[in-house]
Structure 1
Amino acid sequence: MDAALVIGGTRFIGRHLVDHLLDHDYHVTLFNRGTHENPFASHDRVDHVQGDRGVKTDLQAAAMTVDYDAVFDVVAYRPGEVETAVDVFADAEAYVYVSSGAAYGDEVLPKREGETGLKPCTPEQATDDSPDTYGARKAAGDRAVFEASKDGVRAMSVRPCVVYGPHDYTERTDYWLARVHEYDRVLVPGDGTNVWHRAYAPDVAEALRLVAERGSAGEAYNVGDRRLTTLREYVGLAADAMGTDIEVVTAGERELAAGGLSPTDFPLYRSYPHVMSTAKLADLGWTSTSLSSAMLATAADHRESERDGSDVGPDRSDEERVLGVLDTL
């Protein structure tokens, strides 16, 4: 394979994917509406076709005019979009759908492809773009991939867990990087041992390419850091990457209530551990970046950006009230 069509491709995971494909000598065509700045506009091996992925005739026009071996579907958020794409690009050597670890419905440790149950998706959920239905919609997209493979389409799914890294517009990690940079004492919810599996964006990009080149039709592949960290450890990695010394202060629900807060107000907190097996992907030759290297790159991008995560986590004034209560105990 040496030609790829990327549906999306200018933000976060898609941007890392295009960089990775270029590093592996692919010619890339981006298909999107052109509403975001294109960081590859001047690259001689990246073309752009403008269109709306929700409009079938736009996809069909791309399929007829673009030279591609593999199709990477980065921005499919409704199962109907996946159903359309696997039909339009049925002749591709590989169709790879970016799903999510949120597709899993059973809370088990770890979550394994083909064993752990997926979330159901009602017809109403299938077209509801609210965050509450995200996992259900991704699961339904997975099922569309599986069905297409039965009809001879080499369609596959990649399920990242929570993704972090440079260009992360969700700002979940930026919140913690800003905290360890600005304050000596950093408030972490719970006892600091909660685990929510994370994946470094360039590693997700590598997974997508390897699945396209070596994966099996009708299969799903989890992707996440091979070494997991607790939230407290993650904050420590952020401090090391920012070159700061901090005191991590943990607080339970009762203490957090003093600031009108709850544990789920903090980004990357999850009450029950979310862990996914990555053995199946590793069998394709995939490896993950070391945590220290991944966080150093993430921190470097954070410094150059204007992101501070202030919109995705508690106000410092509320945290200070909690810290004050803890100091009196």
Structure 2
Amino acid sequence: MTDTALVIGGTRFIGRHTVEDLLAHGYEVAMLNRGNHENPFADDDRVTHVEGDRTNERDLKAARLSADPDVVIDCVAYHPADVAVATDVFADVDGYVYISSGASYAAEHVPKREGVTPLEPCTPEQAADDDHDTYGNRKAEGDREIFAAAEAGVNAMAVRPCIVYGPYDYTERLDYWIDRVLTHDRVVVPGDGQNLWHRAYVEDVASALRIVAERGEPGTAYNVGDRRALTLQETVETIANTAGTEVTVVPASDDALAAGDLAPDDFVLHREYPHLLDTCALADLGWESMPVDEAMNRTVAEHRESDRDGSEWDPGRDAEERVLGVKDTL
């Protein structure tokens, strides 16, 4: 008998790759979403679309009755109340998995470990907020809803990705750096280039969600990220190697950046303090990470076929040229 998975979300980025991973592992898949985005599975008879709003409990119940899922992957729970309702509606499934975030951690530990590194607090006001500044608080409170549901007997688990990258990434964060490498032979990186913000390849996140649904321990959160974490300089160099182009990485101090009226935080994926997640608990379930060279190869190949360029993150090439001019005089 074929297992059925319900993916809440499913048409964009993580959800899209999750549907593909589930299909590749023999699942029949139902997707619950509002239908606001193009459905890449519209012609696939293994995928059923259930139209509805995940914030509407009645729609969740209708999806449960329609799909009768064995597992549920919740890609779009952004408030703890969403998680509380979903774990009640899907209390009898074999596995409910909530996508949390590495942003749920409150302390700058290296690495950040599940059950060890403290989580962000969350006030009632933050729990109902939509501001980016409270994202980590809300995700952490969602984790606590998972823990409470598991104590009540629900097979509920959480997966905490760090920054996710890969094909179809609508955030375009890595697209900015890929575009820089493809269009310029000198690329400015802030600081000494050794800052580290752990990332997770999207296909690895998708497989983690399935594996946790199948084998995870209820009430447990699992970190997911590349097993080899790259610094920002290594990221640019890996993109260049993948793209078959030569590029000079130019580290720029705060003083050098000031020549272009720039600061380190003007560069996407820069983080002053290292952000690194321990992924051993997930690996113990049998999960494996794709080698970063192959992950980057797939990412760059899809970037070239897309119209994304990461321009919304662009600090301005004219400003960078002024920084490069200062560097050349040193």
Q: What TM-score comes out, normalization by structure 2 length?
A: 0.98
Q: What does 1:211-226 correspond to in 2, within 5 Å? A: 211-226=212-227
Partner of 1:305: 306
Q: Which aligned runs of 4 or more in structure 1 are off by greater than 2 angstroms? A: none
Unpaired segments ≥5 residues, structure 2: none
In 2, distance between residues paired with 1:60 and 1:127? 22
In 2, distance between residues paired with 1:137 and 1:260? 34
In 2, distance between residues paired with 1:263 and 1:46? 44
Partner of 1:317: 318
Deviates more, 1:122-131 or 1:159-168: 122-131
* Percent identity between the two aligned chains: 62
Partner of 1:104: 105
Partner of 2:232: 231
1:313 shift after superposition: 2.8
Unpaired segments ≥5 residues, structure 1: none
Counterpart code for 1:68: P
1:51-86 alpha-carbon deviations (Å, 9 max, x no partner)? 001111111111122221000000111111111100
Partner of 1:280: 281
Counterpart code for 2:264: P
1:205-237 alpha-carbon deviations (Å, 9 max, x no partner)? 110011000000000000000111111001101
In 1, distance between residues paired with 2:212 and 2:247? 40
Partner of 2:118: 117
In 1, distance between residues paired with 2:53 and 2:25? 27
Partner of 1:69: 70
1:199 aligns with 2:200: yes
1:242 shift after superposition: 1.4
In 2, distance between residues paired with 1:126 and 1:317? 41
In 2, distance between residues paired with 1:61 and 1:26? 20
In 2, distance between residues paired with 1:4 and 1:100? 22
Deviates more, 1:303-312 or 1:123-132: 123-132
SS of residue in 1 equivalent to 2:281: helix
SS of residue in 2 equivalent to 1:311: helix
SS of residue in 2 equivalent to 1:199: strand
Contact 2:4 2:67 in 1 (8 A): no
1:96-136 alpha-carbon deviations (Å, 9 max, x no partner)? 00000000001111100011100001111111111111111
1:92 shift after superposition: 0.8
Counterpart code for 1:177: I
In 2, distance between residues paired with 1:209 and 1:152? 20
Counterpart code for 1:292: D
Counterpart code for 2:251: T
Counterpart code for 2:101: S
SS of residue in 1 equivalent to 2:313: coil
1:245-296 alpha-carbon deviations (Å, 9 max, x no partner)? 0010000111111111111111111000001100000000011001110000
In 2, distance between residues paired with 1:313 and 1:121? 33
Count of residues paired in the alignment: 329
Contact 2:188 2:251 in 1 (8 A): yes
1:26-55 alpha-carbon deviations (Å, 9 max, x no partner)? 000000000000000110100000000111
In 2, distance between residues paired with 1:261 and 1:15? 36
In 2, distance between residues paired with 1:12 and 1:134? 19
Partner of 1:22: 23
Counterpart code for 2:238: L
Partner of 2:46: 45
Counterpart code for 2:114: E
SS of residue in 1 equivalent to 2:311: coil
SS of residue in 2 equivalent to 1:44: coil
1:243 shift after superposition: 1.3
In 1, distance between residues paired with 2:299 and 2:52? 31
Contact 2:127 2:137 in 1 (8 A): yes
Q: What does 1:126-165 correspond to in 2, within 5 Å? A: 126-165=127-166
SS of residue in 1 equivalent to 2:312: coil
Counterpart code for 1:260: D
